[in-house]
Structure 1
Amino acid sequence: ITFDSVDRFAGLSIRHDPGKFITLAAALLALAGLISSLVVRRRRVFVRVSPAPEAGRTVVTVGGLAKGDDDGLQEVVEDILATVQRRLGSA
């Protein structure tokens, strides 16, 4: 067995990935959306406007629905009702 020579070589790898920042931003936005959907209280407020039996009058009904216990829902519904009454009173 003889050892004649050693061939020297170099392996270079150059990469450019222009989509990595877009992917990072999309992943962070998805994570922020998931966290906000778990943290934000889900509540719905309904406002129904219907004509009253008396001519020229309107009935405004405000209601709220929360997913789970929500102590602040009553205040939100009352605030919306007060806002509607203020705007109708000034019109």
Structure 2
Amino acid sequence: MRKAQILATALTLGLAIPFSFLAILGTAWVTDHLPTVIRSLPPVQWQLVFREGSARWPEVAGMVVGQLLILALLIAARRSQNAANGA
């Protein structure tokens, strides 16, 4: 049991440390290049971006409905499992 705890801690740290370092580097990059990013936004044709977004709303609605369906199934499965364990 002790070996599993040490392994879990080592794996967690092994994942957390590089990704934390990557996040710090990303934040530093964004801080250094933020004016360039902001200057690149005005030439964007926002009407075209809005048109593309409005054309894709059915996809977003489908994803939301799908996630709600999965959530409802998980809740129903948990209730039936609790009822079976309680009976």
* TM-score tier after normalising by the smaller chain length: 0.3 to 0.5
TM-score (norm 2): 0.38
Which one has the bigger helix percentage? Answer: 2
Which one has the bigger strand percentage? Answer: 1
Q: Based on CA coordinates, which of the two structures has the bigger radius of gyration?
A: 1
TM-score (norm 1): 0.37
- With a CA cutoff of 8 Å and minimum separation of 6, indicate the structure with the bigger relative contact order: 1
